Structure 1
Amino acid sequence: MDLWFIILVTLSVAALLRATLNLLSSSSSSSSSAAKRKSLPPGPPAVPVIGNFLWLRKSFAEIEPVLRSLRARYGPMITLHVGPRPAVFVASQALAHEALVHRGALFADRPPPRPTDRLLSANQHNVSSSSYGPTWRLLRRNLTAEILHPSRLRSYSRARAWVLDILVAELKSQPGGVVQVVDHFQYAMFCLLVLMCFGDRLEEKQIKKIEEAQRRLLLGFRRFSVLSFWPRVSKLVFPKRWKEFYDLIEYRNRVLVPLIRARSKAKQEQLNKVKEDENRGDWIVSYVDTLLDLELPGEKRKLEEEEMVSLCSEFLNAGTDTTSTALQWIMANLVKYPEIQERLYDEIKSVVGQGAEQVQEEDLQRMGYLKAVVLEGLRRHPPGHFVLPHT
């Protein structure tokens, strides 16, 4: 215990000395650097080193109410020292549009990743963290053109019907009374994304295992954020937490890598089958299929397994909670405003008929009010309140 106390005191003294030296050196820097620092938007005063550690008590979800109070005091652009570098938050739609649309080329890059993020993303090999350049353009184009393109989305119609059956069965299995639909929405969306990612209808046990691996990393976000501050020091102070973090990454790899290998083998067998009879059958292109074909520009190599794990993990995380949250808010508003629910039900009956058990996807094009309800739900309750960081 005494040894740890001495270590912590030594680290604190070293941190304060370093901060003091940084302040002294910054005061003697060039006038251009000083002007650059002064150009940062206003924000609450930051205490060197200590200010950073104070923010570790709050998760990212808790920053939003803090920003509301700071916006009233400092204006629509606020500088917060929430990490090793200052972060500028833009709380104005007009300013965000000016920065990201009119001047998008200036803010197209991503900030340097934190050590934990670098490990999670296999050294920035995913769309959300990759630096702006040929690799980012390749990964983004592959996702939008090969998976999210309207023609490709239509090919997943059977998958959506399968997931809808799962959702209905889950809801019917619940006892009478109040049903917490958000968990069922999340599971149904996760089933769909797993099928789109790996191309197979996996058993419930496998899907739950993938969901567990993803969820454990997400829930540990706040717990592991402390590891990104001075990683060399945190490895001495929090060795068990670092081990836990590495174990979770390894567990995710053990769960996803066999699925990637199985899909690679199935794809090769399908290619051989097509060469023989020129019939693709009911083969559906999955996200992993497209990743297996990619070649990184500059490096002239295929993606490694850990890099594909990072991309698959990003794909599964990005669509599950956002969609289920949006559906939860829409359903809540239908309960709160029964007149909207009644009008929507009347539209469905008029389009599909009184005796129809399901709404077909082709019927959706004739349901203007349903589309309006969905869009209004997204406007009033956007599932995400922050965009990805830009620099």
Structure 2
Amino acid sequence: MMHLNFSKIEKKTMDYTIILILLSIFTCSYIYIYITQSHRRNSTQLPPGPYPLPLIGSIFKLGKKPHHSLATLSKTHGPLMSLKLGSTTMIVVSSREVAQEFFLKHDNSFSSRSIPYAAHAHDRHKISMVWLPVGDQWRRLRKISKEHLFSKRQLDASHLLRKKKVQELLEYVDDCCENGKPVNVGQTAVTTTLNVLSNFIFSTDFTKYDSVSSQDFKDLVGGLMEVGGTPNLADFFPVLRPFDPKGLLRQATFYTGKLMAIFEEHISKRLQERSICSSDGPLSSKDLTDLLLDICENEKSSINMDGIRNLIFDLFLAGTDTTSSTLEWAMAELIHSPEKMAKARYELEEVIGKEDRTVEESDISRLPYLQAVIKETLRLHPPVTFLIPHRAIDDVEILGYVVPKDAQILCNLWAMGQDSSVWSDAQTFLPERFLDVGIDYKGRDFELIPFGAGRRICPALPLAHRMLQLMLGGLIYRFDWKMEKGMRPEDMDMSDKFGITLQKNLPLMAIPIKV
């Protein structure tokens, strides 16, 4: 008992010591921030924004749904807004015109990244194409992605793989249909997307539908995405980084290490296979791993083994949640609006007929309403709400204000999709608004840039475009859908929850019915 009491006293003493240390750090930090900011305010004119509280700035104004909170603040302070979040200056972009200024006119000045502390796990911020500054190494990785991963030639060559995996998706849904079993649409889309990527990269399936054994991989990806979307005190107060106060770096290190081990196992196995096959001549067919290893073995290699591991890591992380969440939102909106579902299905029947086949990639250009459904979904529910944060390389004058060097740039795509000056009846799901207009999401029309714009535009856009059309087209062409437990479509929960990707607050569980 005495030992237990001593432990409690010792723990309390330690807690008070930590509090005193943190208070001292906060005080010193505040003095430093106040002096530097006072000097900067005297020499520059920041964009308007809420008046910051001492030390913490406007952190408490973010709330649980920062995309909503910042959209509300922008109505008061304008589409070019500044906030202080601890020692960080955040610039928020909330309109088409301002986005064009940043990512077209001044694209080079804002091409760097604001790197969150969690991205330091396994030093990924030094190697990953996502976080590297625009420079020689970034350009080499970008070139590899463009030429060997997402070029039209490469995507055309792998169309049978995507067709096969979408067919497996439809067969799984067909089994659920026969058994009257509801489908977790988002989770099912994750499985399909992961298997497309894992076959493209390693020529093997990583997951199976309703498989407990494959849930671990999904949980690792989902856990890392959740960590990436959680606001971190260590980002707002760098002096707290040694303490990792919310434990996000520790979590990111755990998830990253587990995923890296999986990829390393597959890469090592491939290296062994290549050494065995080298005496028998080149491999008859090559996946992405072989292509990257071929490049790596070249004397003038533009990528090393660390680069290969991290590029593969980026592909899996970026290519799963974004595509699956968009598909889930599209299905939710169509089930919520049965007349839109019927219109999309009618178009598919007109183009494909009543034949027993899946939607082909060659059909996409003849399905304008299906394309409009995807565009409208991306407008209302952008998968990465703020894009990946940019960083100002230098002081830049924008619309009469100065965006200071090292400021973090957030582009609030959700707010831009709600802009009533651009979109009539902005909160309503209306795919028709995209018919007979030339607006697309490929980075040229700044009212709709869910994949970004400029040199930092998502390189996987062409793959996401094909996958979304194929999966959504197949699911609504083959099946009608009803809600669980007799719920009416109009009563569906359409609220969202914030993360690195914008998820439905409640997963979409729907029962398929054979058309």
TM (norm. structure 2) is: 0.63
Alignment correspondent of 1:19: 30
Whose RCO is larger (CA < 8 A, sep 6+)? 2
Return the match for 1:260 from 247, 258, 267.
267
Q: Deviations over 1:327-369 (max 9, x none)?
A: 2233233334444433433443344342423333334444344
Moved more, 348-357 or 320-329: 348-357
Deviation at 1:52, TM superposition (A): 7.3
Instruction: Considering fraction of residues, name the structure with more strand.
Output: 2
Q: Deviations over 1:293-350 (max 9, x none)?
A: 5569xx9784244x43332222112122222222223323333444443343344334
Letter in structure 2 aligned against 1:44: P
Once residues 129 and 107 of structure 2 are traced to their aligned partners in structure 1, the CA distance between those partners, rounded to angstroms, is 17
Deviation at 1:120, TM superposition (A): 5.3
Deviation at 1:144, TM superposition (A): 1.8
Return the match for 2:188 from 184, 188, 211.
184
Q: Which runs of 5+ in 2 are unaligned?
A: 1-11, 393-515
Moved more, 345-354 or 153-162: 345-354
| RMSD, aligned α-carbons | 3.4
* Structure 1 segment 140-155 matched on structure 2, within 5 A: 140-155=142-157
2:357 is equivalent to residue 357 of structure 1:
yes
Moved more, 222-231 or 75-84: 222-231
Q: Which runs of 5+ in 1 are unaligned?
A: none
Alignment correspondent of 2:103: 100
- The ranges of structure 1 where at least 4 consecutive aligned residues each deviate by more than 6 angstroms after the TM superposition are none
Residues 291/5 of structure 1: CA separation in 2 closer, same or farther (3 Å cut): farther
2:378 is equivalent to residue 378 of structure 1:
yes
Residues 270/71 of structure 1: CA separation in 2 closer, same or farther (3 Å cut): farther
Once residues 140 and 122 of structure 1 are traced to their aligned partners in structure 2, the CA distance between those partners, rounded to angstroms, is 16
Letter in structure 1 aligned against 2:327: L
Letter in structure 2 aligned against 1:344: A
Deviation at 1:227, TM superposition (A): 4.4
Structure 1 SS opposite 2:85: coil
Alignment correspondent of 2:121: 119
Contact 1:214–1:317 (8 Å) recurs in 2: yes
Residues 208/237 of structure 1: CA separation in 2 closer, same or farther (3 Å cut): closer
Contact 2:81–2:92 (8 Å) recurs in 1: yes
Instruction: Indicate the percent of aligned positions where both proteins have the same amino acid.
Output: 21
Residues 265/246 of structure 1: CA separation in 2 closer, same or farther (3 Å cut): same
Deviation at 1:268, TM superposition (A): 5.2
Contact 1:124–1:131 (8 Å) recurs in 2: no
Instruction: Considering fraction of residues, name the structure with more helix.
Output: 1
Structure 2 SS opposite 1:88: strand
2:202 is equivalent to residue 198 of structure 1:
yes
Deviation at 1:199, TM superposition (A): 3.1
Contact 1:43–1:74 (8 Å) recurs in 2: yes
Alignment correspondent of 2:49: 43
How many residue pairs are counted as aligned between the two chains? 373
Structure 2 SS opposite 1:216: helix
Contact 2:325–2:383 (8 Å) recurs in 1: yes
Q: Deviations over 1:175-232 (max 9, x none)?
A: 4265332221122112212222323334647754432322222223366824445567
Return the match for 1:8 from 19, 25, 30.
19
* Structure 1 segment 177-326 matched on structure 2, within 5 A: 178-202=182-206, 204=208, 207-221=214-228, 225-228=232-235, 233-236=240-243, 238=245, 243-267=250-274, 273-275=280-282, 281=284, 283-286=285-288, 288-293=289-294, 302-305=303-306, 307-326=307-326
Residues 161/123 of structure 1: CA separation in 2 closer, same or farther (3 Å cut): same
Once residues 241 and 335 of structure 1 are traced to their aligned partners in structure 2, the CA distance between those partners, rounded to angstroms, is 37
Moved more, 154-163 or 95-104: 154-163
Residues 19/261 of structure 1: CA separation in 2 closer, same or farther (3 Å cut): same
Alignment correspondent of 2:367: 367
Residues 5/290 of structure 1: CA separation in 2 closer, same or farther (3 Å cut): farther
Q: Deviations over 1:103-124 (max 9, x none)?
A: 212222223x233212256233
Letter in structure 1 aligned against 2:67: E
Once residues 37 and 378 of structure 2 are traced to their aligned partners in structure 1, the CA distance between those partners, rounded to angstroms, is 46
